[in-house]
Amino acid sequence: MNKMTKANLMESWIQEIREKDNYYCFDGWKYRISGTVIELSIVSVYTKNRNKYRCSAITIGQILKTLSTRIENGGLHFHIQSFPSIENPEIIATIRIDENGHLPEVFPKIKNDKGVKTFRNWIFQLSEKYQFNLQEIQRPKNYYPGFTSKKPVTWFALTSLSDNPFTWLNLGNWKETILDKAMRNFPETQITVYDFCKNMDVSAENVNIAEDSFLQALIVFAE
């Protein structure tokens, strides 16, 4: 595959992502393509707003995971550089198609994850790999997942020991992995992730979590 074809693929993939504006919250991020490199950044007006910056970083984390999967599915390799410019904090990451077939793994993985029998065990293992903790909680006030399944519903708080742009980018990677892999490995499981970025998310101030932890998301599932 020549360089022009790879560049066209990158353009096609990022445009497809942009069209899913309800899923990827397109208003908070932008991109620039140079050859086979995509630079992902936050729109400048959001760099002064901590919550909007956080949500845009989460979205970019999801996009990086999506693009990397597309690249690997095409039999290619990728390289990601996070926060490449101290002078430009709005630039979150770059991803490029790389010819090197021996690059280190970027995203945590569970070995033989198809052998994990339950979604609960799988999400616990993966969350730990991403350096997050899961804590079972009671249903938070004003949260109603509306699942069609009659199976028991379980709520968890996803927490971290840090709360910074690296954490938020990692949260986006985790979220996309959960939503993508769960559909393929556990198709009967219904899951919703609330990362406090959508209009449907409401306050989670009443959730009790471990001391010195930061609440990053709420997860509810029926398996």
**Structure confidence at residue 193 (pLDDT):** 93
Domain final residue, candidates 98, 123, 142: 98
Residues 128, 83 within the same domain: no
Q: Is residue 67 part of a domain?
A: yes
- Domain end marker among 42, 72, 98: 98
**Looking at the predicted structure, is the pLDDT value of residue 22 above 70?**
no
Segment 148-158 mean pLDDT: 90
User: Which residues, 6+ apart, have CB-to-CB distance to 39 below 8 Å?
Assistant: 31, 32, 33, 91, 93, 94
Indicate the pLDDT class of residue 123, thresholds 50, 70 and 90.
very high
Range of lowest pLDDT (55-69, 87-101, 102-116, 139-153): 102-116
pLDDT at residue 112 greater than cutoff 80: no
Average pLDDT over residues 119-126: 91
Q: What is the DSSP letter of 168?
A: H
Same domain for 172 and 92, yes or no, is no
Could you tell me if residue 173 is inside a domain?
yes
pLDDT for res 100:
66
Count of domains in the chain?
A: 2
pLDDT at 106: 66
Q: Is the pTM of this model over 0.85?
A: yes
Question: In the predicted model, what is the mean pLDDT of residues 10-24?
Answer: 79
Is residue 104 situated within a structural domain? no
Cα separation of 124 and 139, whole Å? Answer: 19
H/E element, 12 = helix 3-19
